[in-house]
Each structure stands twice: as C-alpha cells, then as structure tokens.
Structure 1
Amino acid sequence: MLNDKRIERIEAVLNKKQSTLQVFLDNVDSSQNLSAIIRSCDSVGVLNFYYSNEVDKDVKIHKTITQGSHHWLYRERVDLANKVDFLKEKQKEGFQVVVTHLSEKSVSYRKVDYTEKTVIVMGNEKDGISDEVLELADEVVIIPMQGMAQSLNVSVATALILYEAERQLDGASRYDRPQLSLEQIEEIKFEWVHRDLISRRSKGTIFTGRKKRSRRENC
C-alpha cells in the first residue's frame, strides 16, 4: 500500500483541481512543447487537457520535461476534423473559448475573466490558430510584447496565460475549497492511487515484506 503521506498528497492535489479551466492545443506539432505545456497545466490545477494533430496517433510525452505531471491530469486527443464541433460543444456547456491571435480585436490576456468556465486554445508555432477555430472564439487575446520579437514560444505563452488564470482563481478563493464533487474526487483518487501503486511496485519503491538485495547480490 501507499503510505499515508502519499495518499494525503494525492488528496491535496485533487482538492485544488479546477474543472472550469481547460486547455486545448490546435494542431500541435512539437512533442517537447506539448510536454512543457502539460507541466504548466498541472502546476495551476488543470484537470482536462486536449490536443489535436495531423498524425493519427498520440504525441510522445517527454517524461524528462513533464517530470511526472502527465500522470495527474487527463489528456485527450481530438481529431482535426472534429475540433470545431468539440469546441462548440464546450461552448454549449458554458465555456468561453479564448484563443491567442494577433488581430485588430485582440485584447491583453489579462483582460479576460478566467473565473468563468474557460477553454484556452493555443496554436502551433508555425501557423498559429486555424481560421475555423478563430471564427468561433469568444475572446481573442495577445501577450503584449515590448521588444523586437512579436511572439513567445507557445509553451512560455501558455504558462503566462495559465498563471494569470491562476492569479484570478486564487483571488476568488477557488483553490481554498474543492471544485470537484465528492464523487468525482473519490473516483479519481481511486484511479490515481491504484495507478501510482502499480507504478511504484514496478520500480521497486514500495516495501513488499521481502528483503531487498543489493545491486551486487543481484549480479
């Protein structure tokens, strides 16, 4: 079994998860950026992470970048052909779709109310947000740039926006009380504890009652 401190840690993380703050990557093409964004998502309590890409398979997760954070949120691949319908469904659920794009109607990312149900949509570094996603956006934002460069790396930009959302959510005391139902917390906790137990057993980091031999004894 996991020790009490590990279980308490899982419970504490679940109590700060924000079901109303979600992230969607529009046609991601860099597994390194995706992994870095996952780590930022976990750090602010994002529970649901979505992405689309042209390759009909999951994007590789770089564990040295995520540092295990990919285990503590749900990630889902959305087919490119279905991404507009997916985001429209989110809007029907009451989410505002916030996209990053430089245009005449763009506003600073700080002006959005992230205490509302929000899906933050980030584009890839080459093409940005696709036109069809841009058309359905509720808010179009930019990160003000004061230097020669007109954009940031997508993982850095995502982290900035997420931490503005975290600032607002913290100001609204959203991290002070669970945002998930008790049933959701218990269901996810059971899943995470079970998975963590299997993972630790496979790595030999859980005491099983048998004397552990040294590396020399195993040779």
Structure 2
Amino acid sequence: MTPERLARINEMLDNRQVDLTVCLDKVHKTNNIAATVRTADSVGIHQIHAVMPEDSLWVSGNTSSGSHRWVNTIKHVTYQDAYQQFRAQGMQVLATTFSDTAVDFREIDYTKPTVIVLGNERDGVSQEAIDSADQHIIIPMVGMVQSLNVSVAGALIMYEAQRQRQEAGLYNNRQLDHEYCQTKLFEQGHPVYAKACRRKNIPYPAIDELGQISADDDWWDRMRAPDQNEALDE
C-alpha cells in the first residue's frame, strides 16, 4: 500500500460518523439508491439502513461507483425491524414528510444520534415510519413542484448534518473500532492478498502503522502454498 493510499483510507476512517445514518424506506430505483450511498460516503456516514422486501434487488457495485465498499448497508424486511434497531441505539428518528408538525430540516440538531428516513419515489415515507418518528422534517420550497428527488432531498439533509457536526468538532476523531479499521486497511490496501485470504480461508493479518502487512512466517507460508481449490477446479 502506498503512503498516499494509507493516508486517504485513514482520513476516511477518522471522519466516519457512527451515530448518523440514513434509512431508505422501500426506495427501489437503483439510481436513487446509488446516489444516496455516494452522498452518505461523502459526508462520512459509516452505514445506512434499507427497508427492502425479500424479493427486492439492491444496488450493484457498478452503479454506486464503489461507494458500497466504504458504506455498510444493513437491510431490513420491515420498517419495524429497522426502527427497533434505531431505538436500541438511542437515535432520534426524523421522517421526511409533509405534516402539520413538520419543521424546516435546518432547525434540527444533527449533533445528536440521528437517523434520517427517506421515502420511496411514489408513496414517500411509509405510514408506519411517519407514525413512529420523533419529528417530521420538510425542505421548504417556493417553486411549483412540491417535492424533490429522494436522493437530492437526502443530500441536502445529510450536508446540513455534516455542517453542524463539523462546527461541533465531531469529525477527525476516530469512532470506529480497531478491528474494523484493520479489516478496511487490509481489504482496500492489499486487495489481492485479501482475495487470497478469503479464497484459502486464511485469517486477515494485522496492518502496521506504515500500511504494510504484519504477519508471521506461518501466515506467509499458507499464503504461498498452492491453492487446493484451484487445483480441484483444474
């Protein structure tokens, strides 16, 4: 791994926000999903949630331009499953919907643990999500259209959350656990070896401060040994 690559991955890990997330409530268009994942990555969101029926297809790696490698996705069959997880993590649940109690999205304190629920393209946020939300939020509009594309709306809200969190000093402070960071450094810094480890069922090694593999002779011997699976395929 080059020093530049190491620095870039470490900067990403230092800025990941573990208590800020987005929930896609049955959003089904791949271009909207991909755009939301890319924005989540750009503002430092560590993982997103997606309520998707069991027979739904998730966005492919190609359509998200590699962002899926950096943003974890937790899938839920029902919104209730997702909501229970949000509550267990002590998050405020914000639903993007028009209602008598909805407030300008910029009035929210996003420095608190927060999940932003975005609805699907046709029906918006589900009634279940609306009913269980702590607060409804809207994006004020003065034109003729009544709503924005879901990925555009999500981007506006996520960047407001980033702005507030940057002002509060919540970035540049690593919150992810060491094991996860080691895994990302190895998989993204040494992808060929990572692929070999998965193929040969070899545990990942440690990565040192210079971004290099730190492993004993036994690990290297196993890595250099002929791949039995490939031999069987031949």
* Contact 2:21/2:114 (<8 A) preserved: yes
Q: 1:85 to 1:60 in 2, by over 3 A?
A: closer
Provide the aligned length of Structure 1 versus Structure 2: 195
Partner of 1:163: 159
- Say which SS state the counterpart of residue 9 (structure 1) adopts: helix
After TM superposition, list the pairs within 5 Å mapping 1:142-181 onto structure 2.
142-181=138-177
Q: Which residue of 2 aligns with 1:100?
A: 96
Q: CA RMSD in A?
A: 1.9
Q: Residues 6, 24 of structure 1: CA spacing in aligned structure 2 closer, same or farther, 3 A cutoff?
A: same
- TM-score for both structures, normalised by structure 2: 0.77
Q: Which of 63, 66, 73 is 2:64 aligned to?
A: 66
Give the corresponding residue for 2:76: 78
Distance 1:174 1:101 in 2: 28
Q: How many Å separate the matches in 1 of 2:170 and 2:193?
A: 29
Instruction: Summarize the Cα distance change of 1:59–1:79 in structure 2 as closer, same or farther, 3 Å threshold.
Output: same
Q: Mind listing any 5+ residue stretches in structure 1 that lack a counterpart? A: 200-219
* Structure 2: gaps (5+ residues): 196-234
DSSP 3-state at the match of 1:75: strand
For the residue of structure 1 that corresponds to 2:31, the secondary structure is helix
CA–CA distance in structure 1, aligned partners of residues 56 and 192 of structure 2? 25
1:61 alignment partner AA: S
Superposed displacement of residue 21, structure 1:
0.6
Distance 2:146 2:166 in 1: 30
Counterpart CA distance in 1 for 2:192 and 2:143 is 45
Corresponding residue to 2:109 among 107, 110, 113: 113
Q: Greater CA radius of gyration, 1 or 2?
A: 2
Contact 1:96 1:119 in 2 (8 A): yes
Which structure has more RCO (C-alpha within 8 Å, separation ≥ 6)?
1
Q: Report Cα offsets for 1:121-166 as digits up to 9, x if no partner.
A: 1001200011111111011100000111110000000000000000
Normalised by the length of structure 1, the TM-score is 0.82
Q: Deviations over 1:85-119 (max 9, x none)?
A: 32123113211111100000000000111100011
CA distance in 2, matches of 1:16, 1:88: 26
